[in-house]
Chain A
């Protein structure tokens, strides 16, 4: 389904409630009433076209954003991505860690060491994801914001040109690695190799969280690769022409 501006947001959420954390990243919270997407976006000062671009990309893995949809401020894209990062590191990861810890506590004495291995594995994943996110937050996103400022003011500082030479967005695209592999491994460890604990209630919760996070990260990376990168490429192109 293609989500359009005159649909009621409530209907859209009924259709795909996985979108709740996504609308949260725009500052839209539940209890938003009966409005259409366009009305609610206006109330919340959100760029409707940009909102639709993101939720459609997220909702439908086949959706491929078109060039003409790229007319939104880069700053709002960066803000969206930043909020997503916060959600992963401050909510999702601690939640899953708590569940794995609980699983360890409830397991038989003789299996405790096995679950500690799983916990260590997940903590290692947390460090990797944090490093990935830090790199984007401290290096890539500030660069994007800077480029937008350059285009607005029309003045190109040497520093920015040097940065475009040394590390353009194409370099980021090349290096942008997959951060879901370990989650896939952890799912298999739980499904196939770790012993069952207390009728699998906690394991089921963990797996649900893992599937959820895996999907969220995948769409997040798709937004970075397919929306952020072309947007920044276009900005770099404009600046090169200017100077």
Chain B
């Protein structure tokens, strides 16, 4: 699902789960990828495999193993805690964001919008808004000439792995996945001209 923000929810209470599901339905840019109740085996592993953009978790759903659970998730994906007024501060402090489940729908939606906003800002101040580097531009040029990663690697004295990384970054920065899409981009931005693609 290109473009949607993916969320994984861990919540043991059926009603709260249903409530969160219906709240998230109101946010068209968001997709609830998977829901867990917290008792699953090797939960962190399963979640990381889904590569979500956000993880929402009710700390009560994993109880005793909260710390080890958070540790095994690493800190790549921001954690949002689903808490209430009685949640002790030391637990609140474990989360990057919090959502107070007793809040009104209006407040909850507001909070969600802010949360989703952080996702886009995070993306644009990291590498994604920077223009292509010189190396990436060279790789792009060869891609549009129909060269394979292997061929590009040989030509530029790089490992295939490095070329693959460059290609991933090009796609991330430009938002263009296919070779012919990249060719159009390269022509529009004069990275190559018409004569070069016919070579």
Query: Measuring CB to CB, which residues of chain A are less than 8 angstroms from any residue of chain B?
Result: 61-62, 114, 117-118, 121, 124, 180-182, 184-186, 188-189, 192-194, 214, 218
Contact = CB atoms under 8 A, between A and B. Distances in A.
B68 interface: no
Interface string B1-35: 11100000000000000000100000000011000
Contacts of B175: 184-185, 188, 192
Most chain-A CB neighbours within 10 Å: which of B1, B2, B189? B2
A192 B124 CA distance: 14
A184 B1 contact: no
Contacts of B189: 193
Given A180-B2, A184-B3, 20 more contacts: A61-B1, A62-B32, A114-B187, A114-B188, A117-B184, A121-B184, A182-B181, A184-B2, A185-B175, A185-B176, A185-B180, A188-B174, A188-B175, A188-B176, A188-B181, A189-B181, A189-B185, A193-B184, A193-B185, A193-B188
A185 B181 contact: yes
Contacts of A118: 184
Nearest to A183: B2
Most chain-A CB neighbours within 10 Å: which of B1, B21, B32? B1
Most chain-A CB neighbours within 10 Å: which of B21, B174, B184, B187? B184
Contacts of A214: 2
Contacts of A193: 184-185, 188-189
B177 A181 contact: yes
A62 B9 CA distance: 13
Nearest to B171: A185
A218 B177 contact: no
A16 B1 CA distance: 20
- Range for the number of chain B residues in contact with chain A: 10 to 19
A185 B177 contact: yes
A61 B25 CA distance: 10
Q: Is the interface of B mostly helix, strand, loop or mixed?
A: mixed
Nearest to A62: B32
A114 to B, nearest CB: 6
Contacts of B198: none
Contact of B180 (A124, A180, A188, A194): A124
Contacts of B86: none
10 contacts: A114-B187, A118-B184, A181-B178, A185-B178, A185-B180, A188-B176, A189-B184, A193-B185, A193-B188, A194-B188
Contact of A184 (B177, B180, B184, B187): B177
Interface in B161-199: 174-178, 180-181, 184-185, 187-189
B176 to A, nearest CB: 5
Nearest to B3: A184
A192 B176 CA distance: 11
Contacts of A121: 180-181, 184
A121 B176 CA distance: 13
B181 A218 contact: no
A192 B32 CA distance: 28
Which 5 A-B pairs have CB atoms at the shortest separation, nearest pair first? A185-B181, A188-B175, A185-B176, A184-B2, A117-B184
A114 B186 CA distance: 11
A192 B174 CA distance: 9
Contacts of B188: 114, 117, 189, 193-194
B17 to A, nearest CB: 12
A40 B96 CA distance: 51
Contacts of A114: 187-188
B21 A62 contact: yes
Contact of A218 (B1, B176, B187): B1
Contacts of B185: 189, 193
Contacts of B1: 61, 218
Contacts of B184: 117-118, 121, 185, 189, 193
Nearest to A214: B2
A128 B169 CA distance: 26
